[in-house]
Amino acid sequence: MGLRERKKVQTRNALIDAALELFLTQGYDATTIDQIAARVDVSPRTFFRYFSSKEEVALSPPADSQEIFLAEFAARPESESPYTALSQAMRAMIGTLRDKEPAEAERFMRARQLVEETPHLLAGQMRLLMDNEKRLVAEVARRQGTDTGDLLPQFVVSIFTGLGMVCYTSGPQGFDIMAKRLDDVLKLADRSLRPGWDLAAAAVSSPATG
Amino acid sequence: MGLRERKKVQTRNALIDAALELFLTQGYDATTIDQIAARVDVSPRTFFRYFSSKEEVALSPPADSQEIFLAEFAARPESESPYTALSQAMRAMIGTLRDKEPAEAERFMRARQLVEETPHLLAGQMRLLMDNEKRLVAEVARRQGTDTGDLLPQFVVSIFTGLGMVCYTSGPQGFDIMAKRLDDVLKLADRSLRPGWDLAAAAVSSPATG
DNA sequence: TAATTTATGTCACTGCATGACAGATGACAA
DNA sequence: TTGTCATCTGTCATGCAGTGACATAAATTA
């Protein structure tokens, strides 16, 4: 990796860290791009060459973690039912984040705290989630052998997204507490959902449409 | 109702209609506040006296419909379980919207279409949803006799919100198709969820934490 | 009609975001 | 090392969103 590329990574991380620091201390709205840029000694224009908006710099860690989740999900064995694969992918994601180098893991936690206390960012994160939802639905449909347009895969993904929100919205905390919370929610889900609810068979047994 | 008050309602509706018209034809981003204001013959500054942001004018109908939903939910009889009450409130909301005068019903449908095809607005609507979620969780907890901090009421609300999203994200359509879609999703939920899953008893029967 | 309240318009200003252009800096070959 | 090329950065100019201050116009009330 050349010097140029290393510098870019460095600047990018510096911008994220500076932004998170200012957002968390002064608040998101009260912080200007100029302040963030000044702290990293770059021009405001340069900031926008790394991030397309003020929102994006704050949501950059969450976006990364979602990518990780999607990768983990795609890597789950075919033997797992859609919902099981989703749950396991979520656990795997938390583990992957925890095992990163401290500086990076710290960024994820700080961003998480910021997003939670800033409604605008929470909305933005939901948008990220919905952007990925299509990919998720497609993969679930594939595992079920159903069509992407079917109600069932969308249903499964929506239920799961709901669970994710519950364990996400629960105050500042570390990865371990987050994992514990996820376990609790998944246990609750196991008690609430019928076995095989996420498999196509249940839907197929219904009479033809119309 | 005095002349002044009537004029305000009139201007407000005119602004919403002009905004929706421009947003739907030119796109949300390509439309400026100046254009909207010009179409209603008011100054741009006046626009911001009616709506605090460009986003708010577009989300005004969805915000209203959510208020209707909350009112319907609060009015459901105590005999209904939390989830049943939520489902019935949703059906009631669609009915209430359909029965409004055509001009107003039209606004809801147009806004719905706009929100669906504009990611930024979809995110904004999710924020509205989450703003109301606290109220919803509190009411569900009250019906269950559980604490607002408990996992169960949050779980129930999240599951339901997920269902709502499924039936919301499904292409441009009228109230009837929307109601049909809701029915399908609720049927699917009935097949997937264990009886009594939304009642406190199920959680209480689990062994003590730890 | 006169006095009061309230809505609206104008003006000025800050912040976010983008395009264009020039200069600085790293990459690479001779 | 040097020269060339690609790329990153800073400066400048611009448009749009959103807000505060103040004056004006209109509706309300007496």
Assess whether A37 (CB) lies less than 7 A from strand C. Answer: no
Q: For residue A209, what is the DSSP state?
A: P
Nearest to B119 among A127, A152, A191 (CB): A127
Reading the block at residue B53, the tokens are 């942001």
Superfamily of domain A53-202: Tetracycline Repressor, domain 2 (1.10.357.10)
Question: Where along chain B do its domains lie?
Answer: 1-51, 53-194
CA atoms within 13 A on the CB side of B81: 13
Beta bridge partners of B193: A193
Domain made up of A1-51: CATH architecture: Orthogonal Bundle (1.10)
Whether A193 and B188 lie within 8 Å, measured CB to CB: no
Q: Chain C: nucleotides under 7 Å from a protein CB?
A: 6-12, 15-20, 26-28
Closest CA to A192 of B59, B197, B187, B163: B197
Q: For residue B183, what is the nearest residue in chain A, using CA coordinates?
A: A151
Which residues in chain A (60-119) have CB-CB distances under 8 A to chain B?
119
Closest CA to A202 of B173, B193, B178: B193
| Residue given tokens 């989830």 in the structure block | B83
- The per-residue pLDDT string of chain A (210 residues; one tens digit each, 9 = 90 and over) reads 888 999 999 999 999 999 999 999 999 999 999 999 999 999 999 999 999 999 999 999 999 999 999 999 999 999 999 999 999 999 999 999 999 999 999 999 999 999 999 999 999 999 999 999 999 999 999 999 999 889 999 999 999 999 998 888 777 778 999 999 999 999 999 999 999 999 986 444 444 332
Q: B71-93, pLDDT tens digit by residue?
A: 999 999 999 999 999 999 999 99
Assess whether A43 (CB) lies less than 7 A from strand C. Answer: no
pLDDT level of residue B205 (50, 70, 90 thresholds): very low
Alpha carbon distance A64, B190 (integer Å): 35
B51, closest nucleotide (Cα–C1'): D18
Helix (H, G, I), strand (E, B) or coil at B184: helix
Alpha carbon distance A150, B62 (integer Å): 26
Element (H, E) at A35: helix A33-40
Amino acid symbol at B206: S
Domain made up of B53-194: CATH architecture: Orthogonal Bundle (1.10)
Q: For residue A152, what is the nearest residue in chain B, using CA coordinates?
A: B188
